[in-house]
Amino acid sequence: MERVPFQQIQEVLQNVLIKKGFTAGRAELGARLFTEASRDGVYSHGLNRFPRFIEYIEKGYVKIDQEAIATKQMGALEQWDGQLGPGNLNAYTCMERAIELAQAHGIGLVALRNTNHWMRGGAYGWQAAEAGMIGLCWTNTIPNMPAWGAKNPVFGNNPLIIGFPKEDGHIVLDLSLIHI
Protein backbone atom coordinates (compact mmCIF):
# COMPACT_ATOMS: atom_id res chain seq x y z
CA MET A 1 0.00 0.00 0.00
CA GLU A 2 1.34 3.38 -0.98
CA ARG A 3 1.32 6.03 1.74
CA VAL A 4 1.22 9.79 1.36
CA PRO A 5 3.91 11.43 3.51
CA PHE A 6 2.74 13.32 6.60
CA GLN A 7 4.37 16.58 5.50
CA GLN A 8 2.69 16.45 2.09
CA ILE A 9 -0.78 16.02 3.63
CA GLN A 10 -0.15 18.78 6.14
CA GLU A 11 0.98 21.16 3.39
CA VAL A 12 -2.13 20.49 1.29
CA LEU A 13 -4.44 21.10 4.27
CA GLN A 14 -2.46 24.18 5.25
CA ASN A 15 -2.80 25.63 1.76
CA VAL A 16 -6.57 25.03 1.83
CA LEU A 17 -6.82 26.84 5.18
CA ILE A 18 -4.73 29.75 3.90
CA LYS A 19 -7.05 30.04 0.88
CA LYS A 20 -9.98 30.17 3.32
CA GLY A 21 -8.35 33.14 5.07
CA PHE A 22 -6.31 31.65 7.92
CA THR A 23 -2.99 33.25 8.80
CA ALA A 24 0.03 31.07 7.98
CA GLY A 25 0.66 30.16 11.62
CA ARG A 26 -2.93 29.23 12.41
CA ALA A 27 -3.19 27.30 9.13
CA GLU A 28 -0.02 25.33 9.97
CA LEU A 29 -1.28 24.39 13.45
CA GLY A 30 -4.79 23.53 12.26
CA ALA A 31 -3.44 21.40 9.41
CA ARG A 32 -1.00 19.64 11.73
CA LEU A 33 -3.76 18.75 14.21
CA PHE A 34 -5.93 17.25 11.46
CA THR A 35 -2.98 15.37 9.92
CA GLU A 36 -1.79 13.99 13.27
CA ALA A 37 -5.27 12.63 13.99
CA SER A 38 -5.24 10.62 10.76
CA ARG A 39 -1.61 9.55 11.23
CA ASP A 40 -2.52 8.19 14.66
CA GLY A 41 -5.56 6.29 13.38
CA VAL A 42 -8.32 8.68 14.48
CA TYR A 43 -9.64 9.03 10.94
CA SER A 44 -13.05 10.33 12.01
CA HIS A 45 -11.43 13.52 13.33
CA GLY A 46 -8.58 13.86 10.84
CA LEU A 47 -8.75 13.95 7.07
CA ASN A 48 -12.26 12.51 7.05
CA ARG A 49 -13.52 15.46 9.14
CA PHE A 50 -11.66 18.16 7.21
CA PRO A 51 -14.30 18.63 4.44
CA ARG A 52 -17.02 19.21 7.08
CA PHE A 53 -14.75 21.70 8.83
CA ILE A 54 -14.38 23.62 5.55
CA GLU A 55 -18.15 23.44 5.02
CA TYR A 56 -18.72 24.91 8.50
CA ILE A 57 -16.33 27.75 7.71
CA GLU A 58 -18.22 28.46 4.49
CA LYS A 59 -21.57 28.42 6.33
CA GLY A 60 -20.21 30.83 8.95
CA TYR A 61 -20.44 28.39 11.87
CA VAL A 62 -16.66 28.61 12.38
CA LYS A 63 -15.28 32.15 12.55
CA ILE A 64 -11.71 31.82 11.26
CA ASP A 65 -10.68 35.30 12.41
CA GLN A 66 -11.75 34.73 16.03
CA GLU A 67 -9.41 33.50 18.76
CA ALA A 68 -10.07 32.39 22.32
CA ILE A 69 -9.74 35.16 24.89
CA ALA A 70 -9.55 35.07 28.69
CA THR A 71 -12.69 36.47 30.30
CA LYS A 72 -12.08 35.65 33.99
CA GLN A 73 -8.87 34.94 35.85
CA MET A 74 -8.47 33.78 39.45
CA GLY A 75 -4.92 32.54 40.06
CA ALA A 76 -4.66 29.04 38.61
CA LEU A 77 -8.25 29.13 37.29
CA GLU A 78 -9.38 30.87 34.13
CA GLN A 79 -12.46 31.07 31.94
CA TRP A 80 -12.05 31.63 28.21
CA ASP A 81 -14.44 32.54 25.40
CA GLY A 82 -13.73 30.87 22.06
CA GLN A 83 -15.75 33.48 20.14
CA LEU A 84 -16.87 30.69 17.76
CA GLY A 85 -13.33 30.39 16.43
CA PRO A 86 -11.89 27.09 15.19
CA GLY A 87 -12.37 24.62 18.02
CA ASN A 88 -9.07 22.81 17.59
CA LEU A 89 -7.11 26.07 17.69
CA ASN A 90 -9.11 27.30 20.68
CA ALA A 91 -8.55 24.05 22.57
CA TYR A 92 -4.83 24.07 21.76
CA THR A 93 -4.51 27.67 22.99
CA CYS A 94 -6.36 26.87 26.21
CA MET A 95 -4.21 23.80 26.91
CA GLU A 96 -1.12 25.96 26.37
CA ARG A 97 -2.53 28.37 28.93
CA ALA A 98 -3.36 25.55 31.37
CA ILE A 99 0.24 24.34 31.08
CA GLU A 100 1.54 27.86 31.81
CA LEU A 101 -0.75 28.13 34.84
CA ALA A 102 0.35 24.70 36.12
CA GLN A 103 4.00 25.68 35.79
CA ALA A 104 3.32 28.80 37.87
CA HIS A 105 0.82 27.41 40.41
CA GLY A 106 1.17 23.62 40.42
CA ILE A 107 -2.24 23.31 38.75
CA GLY A 108 -3.88 25.03 35.81
CA LEU A 109 -7.57 24.89 35.02
CA VAL A 110 -8.95 26.58 31.92
CA ALA A 111 -12.63 26.39 31.00
CA LEU A 112 -13.53 27.17 27.39
CA ARG A 113 -16.98 28.14 26.17
CA ASN A 114 -18.51 29.43 22.95
CA THR A 115 -16.31 27.41 20.65
CA ASN A 116 -16.64 24.82 17.88
CA HIS A 117 -15.78 21.13 17.65
CA TRP A 118 -12.33 20.59 19.14
CA MET A 119 -11.75 17.66 16.77
CA ARG A 120 -9.49 14.95 18.27
CA GLY A 121 -9.55 15.51 22.01
CA GLY A 122 -6.52 13.30 22.53
CA ALA A 123 -4.37 15.97 20.86
CA TYR A 124 -4.62 18.08 24.01
CA GLY A 125 -3.77 15.14 26.29
CA TRP A 126 -0.63 14.61 24.19
CA GLN A 127 0.07 18.35 24.36
CA ALA A 128 0.01 18.25 28.18
CA ALA A 129 2.07 15.05 28.39
CA GLU A 130 4.71 16.46 26.01
CA ALA A 131 5.00 19.44 28.38
CA GLY A 132 5.56 17.07 31.32
CA MET A 133 2.08 17.64 32.73
CA ILE A 134 -0.90 15.46 33.52
CA GLY A 135 -3.78 16.65 31.38
CA LEU A 136 -7.49 16.12 32.01
CA CYS A 137 -9.80 17.33 29.26
CA TRP A 138 -13.49 16.84 28.65
CA THR A 139 -16.32 18.39 26.72
CA ASN A 140 -20.01 17.99 26.14
CA THR A 141 -21.63 17.19 22.82
CA ILE A 142 -25.01 17.52 21.21
CA PRO A 143 -27.32 14.54 21.72
CA ASN A 144 -25.98 12.05 19.20
CA MET A 145 -26.65 8.67 20.82
CA PRO A 146 -29.83 6.91 21.95
CA ALA A 147 -30.22 5.47 25.42
CA TRP A 148 -29.88 1.69 25.58
CA GLY A 149 -32.79 0.09 23.76
CA ALA A 150 -34.05 3.39 22.31
CA LYS A 151 -33.87 4.80 18.78
CA ASN A 152 -33.74 8.58 19.24
CA PRO A 153 -30.53 10.32 20.30
CA VAL A 154 -30.88 11.78 23.78
CA PHE A 155 -27.33 12.13 25.11
CA GLY A 156 -23.88 12.99 23.80
CA ASN A 157 -20.76 10.87 23.78
CA ASN A 158 -18.96 13.45 25.98
CA PRO A 159 -15.24 12.70 25.46
CA LEU A 160 -12.81 12.40 28.35
CA ILE A 161 -9.06 12.63 27.79
CA ILE A 162 -6.35 11.85 30.33
CA GLY A 163 -2.69 12.36 29.47
CA PHE A 164 0.23 11.15 31.62
CA PRO A 165 3.86 12.03 30.92
CA LYS A 166 6.39 9.20 31.13
CA GLU A 167 10.06 9.12 30.18
CA ASP A 168 9.66 5.86 28.25
CA GLY A 169 6.51 6.92 26.38
CA HIS A 170 3.52 8.99 27.41
CA ILE A 171 0.14 7.45 28.10
CA VAL A 172 -2.92 9.18 26.69
CA LEU A 173 -6.44 7.85 27.14
CA ASP A 174 -8.90 9.32 24.66
CA LEU A 175 -12.32 8.04 25.68
CA SER A 176 -15.91 8.68 24.83
CA LEU A 177 -19.16 6.85 25.39
CA ILE A 178 -19.91 4.47 22.61
CA HIS A 179 -23.11 2.71 21.70
CA ILE A 180 -22.82 -0.94 20.87
Q: Could you read off the pLDDT of 96-143 as tens digits, one per residue?
A: 999 999 999 999 999 999 999 999 999 999 999 999 999 999 998 888
| Over residues 54-77, mean pLDDT | 98
DSSP structure class, residue 48 = T
Q: What is the CATH number of domain 6-58?
A: 1.10.1530.10
Pick the CATH number of 69-175 from 3.30.1370.60, 3.90.550.10, 1.10.150.20, 1.20.120.50: 3.30.1370.60
Cα 64 off chain centre by = 15
DSSP structure class, residue 143 = S
Which segments of the chain belong to CATH 3.30.1370.60?
69-175
Q: What's the mean pLDDT when you consider all of the chain? A: 94
- Asked if residue 79 lies in contact with residue 72, where contact means CB atoms within 8 angstroms, the answer is yes
Q: Is 45 a catalytic residue?
A: yes
What is the per-residue pLDDT for 5? 95
pTM of the model: 0.93
Single-letter residue type at 37: A
Q: Tell me whether strands 109-113 and 77-81 are parallel, antiparallel or unpaired.
A: parallel
**Residue from 45, 117, 170, 179 carrying the catalytic annotation:** 45
How many angstroms separate the first and last alpha carbons of the chain? 31
Longest dimension (CA), the chain: 53
- Asked if residue 80 lies in contact with residue 113, where contact means CB atoms within 8 angstroms, the answer is yes
Over the stretch 145-171, which tens digit does the pLDDT of each residue have?
A: 888 899 998 888 889 999 999 999 999
Confidence check: pLDDT of 178 > 60: no
Which segments of the chain belong to CATH 1.10.1530.10?
6-58
C-beta atoms surrounding 34 within 10 Å:
26
What is the per-residue pLDDT for 180? 45
